[in-house]
A and B are shown apart, each in its own frame.
Chain A
Amino acid sequence: MRKLGAFLRLELKTIAEQTTPLYIALYLIALLLFVLTTQSVWMGVVVGILSAVTLVNYLFHVSEKNNMDALYPLLGLSRKDVVCGRCIFGFLLTVVVVTIVSFASFLLVAALDAMLPGLREMAEIDFSVPYASQLLFLLTTVVVTMGVLQLPIYFKMGYSRAKNIAIIIPSIIVLIFAGFMGFVMGANSVGDKLAAVNAFLDSPVFIVMCIAVLVFAALVSYRLSLKFYQSRDF
């Protein structure tokens, strides 16, 4: 447990260059402009997911650039410790970033609505607790699925060789996700479609499906990443 804590700290320090107050301020300005342009909480959430994925990618970039894969064994970390630690760190980072950005987007859209009423789509979205939890499930599933598909590629090929392949995967997933959300939003004007989607999102089948996908995705990602990373030399 102590070693995991130490490794998470190392990972956090590795991306520290991207988490300075200046970068965070710039990021929030960019987010504000994005939300202002799109007037949608959902687009803010999508940006949050992409940001988290970018930060995890950046972690691989910094560690490869500085040959830090050679540092981990010197610190007594086995390949398994590294893969396990990075999966946990990636997951925690993603959850934290998505939560913060979603909340910030919500506040920005709400503020926009107060200042410029009628501009945004927010009024049509019911932000009740059950709806928020459904979204959380859906978001988490999307985020972990990205991790599942990206992490093993990075562990196998390293950042430089994997970045072009790996960037396609989140793009596809985000497009599918955005398309799905667009469908839900579009269905708003067609009462029966929205009702059907809402009924599915409300059903236990959806929650069980999300959990099953999460567990399966996490296991597959971990096993593949470990297999690939164990066979690499640095």
Chain B
Amino acid sequence: MAAPVTGHISPEQLSIVTDMLANGQWKYWGVALLGFMGGTLSGFIGSGGAFLMTPGMMNLGIPGVMAVGANITHKFGKAMMGSRKHGEYGHVDKKLAIYLLITALIGIKLAVWVNAYVFHVLGEAGSSLYVSAFFVLTLTLIGGSMLKDALRSMKDEASGPSKALLALSSRLKFKPMIHFPVSGVDISVWTLLVVGIAIGFMAGTIGVGGFIGVPAMIYIFGVPTVVATGSELFLAMFMGAWGAFNYALGGFVDLRLTLLLYAGSLVGIYVGAIGTSLVKELYIRMVTAILILLCCISRVLAVPAYLKSLDLIQLSGPAGHWLEIGSKVFLFGSGIVATFLIIFFTFRAHFQNRKLAHRYHMPDIGVESA
């Protein structure tokens, strides 16, 4: 069996997206809509979007490895635009970012290799099953934790990040220890190695980036939130570039998917970002948590079809059909509703502000912008 790395491209890989798009014009719009929803969410919650876009492409018939390849390539360009728009990175711990980047790149390379291997050995169904399993595990943990946190906030209970991982990490003082002055923490190089590779592996397997990197920096290393957030932007572009390059080496990046994602995402991201300043933060957390869990359910409903393709279970035609519909409904339905809510709240707040500005007769003053 040939190693599934550079140069080993099966002819079917080249025709997957062509066949998918040939099945109807609506598929073009479907991918662009996924991009729009993912971009809006990404702008709204500051990270993520991948948990919607990657499973969404899989629902449209793209194998998991190619959906991840398209998403991670899309992420590279988006992060590049994000860093250009924001200009300065703010509070970036460059030393920590570089250490994490080196280890994460190893993790990404490993993830690409595993993903490609699964595709070549088990085919499209196996690849989608593998990626789905990762999604279900990750989304259950993250979504459940966020929902629990949001519900506690609604009840006015004190909530904050769990200190358990931080306490464990602080006990792991295996030398050599490295001091990071900007973050004000000391971290064992071995902890950095393990966590960095894990972040890279997760990012490379399912295309999720800041969603894992930022909490890891905060909850495991004890890095201040503002530094973690600033450093993640620095990391995202390079991790995305490396992931894109490696998936492209495996022949898993079809630019048609990436460009269709951009068609929607680079519109939605601005709406979402503006929405964060106009919508109550609790709504943001609730919407995000519920959406993540619904995406998780969508993936669970898609798994039986993959198992049937691998001859691991028996599944009747009607049952498979309804599971497929259920999976699509949960993902697209929840994405559309969440995006609609974000847009609705954003524009409502915007028009309220505009009424306010007009009420005080200010627009005719002609105050020059800086």
Q: Do A and B come from one complex?
A: no
